[in-house]
Amino acid sequence: MPRFAANLSMLFTEVPFLERFERAAAAGFEAVEFLFPYAWPAAQIRALLDRHRLQLVLHNLPAGDWDAGERGIACLPDRVDEFRAGVATALEYARVLGVGQLNCLAGKAPAGVDPALLRATLVANLRHAAAELERAGLKLLVEPINTFDIPGFFVHRTAQALDILDEVGAANAFVQYDIYHAQRMEGELAATLQAHLPRIAHVQLADNPGRHEPGSGEIHYPFLFAHLDRIGYRGWIGCEYKPAAGTEAGLGWLHSQTGA
C-alpha cells in the first residue's frame, strides 16, 4: 500500500505553517514534507514532529529569493558561493530534523546565458552537494519541473534529469519524480516510473489540470498507486497539490486508499 506524506507548503494553508503539523496528524498522515524550514528554528520544527508523531521525509535546499520569484539557484554561475552555503545550512537542519533526503531545485535559465555553462554549473554544484550529503548519510534529489507553470525552469524532463545525474556520477543522487510535472511535460507516467524506478527516490502527486487532489482531473490515480505497488516502489508519496475546496474536504481519495 502506498504511504502518503502531507506537503505542508500546499496543504492546510488556511492556518499558519506551524499549526499545520497538528492538522496533518489529525487527518491521518504519518509523515510530512515541505519546501523550506529555514524561517523557523530547527528545534522548534523537530518538537512539532515529535509531538504529533510525524516523520519528515523531504525538504529542499535553499532556493534563492522565493518571494521574488526565484525557483532555485543551482544552475546560476554567479550564485555558486550562495548555493554551497545553502547546502551547509540545509545539512544543519537535516541533522536536527532527521530527514533522509534533500531536494535541489535547479532554477530558471537566465536569458542570454549559454545553456552549456548553466549545465556545467549545475553539475558541479550537484557534485558538491552530493558529496556533502553523502558524508551525512543523506540522498540528494533533483526534480524536473514543467515549464508551463515555471517558464524557463532548467531541468524539465525525466530524461534530462537522468542525463545530468549520469554526469554527476554520485551514488546518492536520484530523481524526485513529480507526477503532475511529468504529466504536463511528457506523459508516459507508468512506463517511465517502471523503467527508471531504481533511480527515483521520491514521488510526488497532484492531478491535472489545476494541480488539485487526485480524482479531480485526467490522471488515473487508482491505477498509478497500484502500479507503484506492483513495480516495488517503497518510498513515500508527497501530496503536493492545491486543495480545490479545503484540505480536509478533499481527502476522500486518501481515505479510499488507506481505509482511514
CA distance 72 to 123: 14
Is 134 annotated as catalytic?
no
Q: Look at the chain and count its residues.
A: 260
The answer to whether 55 and 34 are in contact (CB under 8 A) is no
Which one of the listed residues 14, 33, 240, 248 is annotated catalytic?
A: 240
Is 143 annotated as catalytic?
yes
Which one of the listed residues 143, 186, 218, 248 is annotated catalytic?
A: 143
Classify each residue of 150-180 as buried b or exposed e, where b means 16 or more C-beta atoms within 10 Å of its C-beta.
beebbbbbbebbbebbeebebebbbbbbbbb
CA distance 94 to 90: 6
Q: How far is CA 44 from the centre of its chain?
A: 22
Q: Where are the alpha helices (DSSP H) in the chain?
A: 20-26, 42-51, 80-97, 115-135, 158-168, 179-185, 189-196, 221-231, 252-258
Q: For Cα atoms 216, 180, 177, give the angle at the middle one, nearest 5 degrees.
A: 140
Active site residues: 143, 240
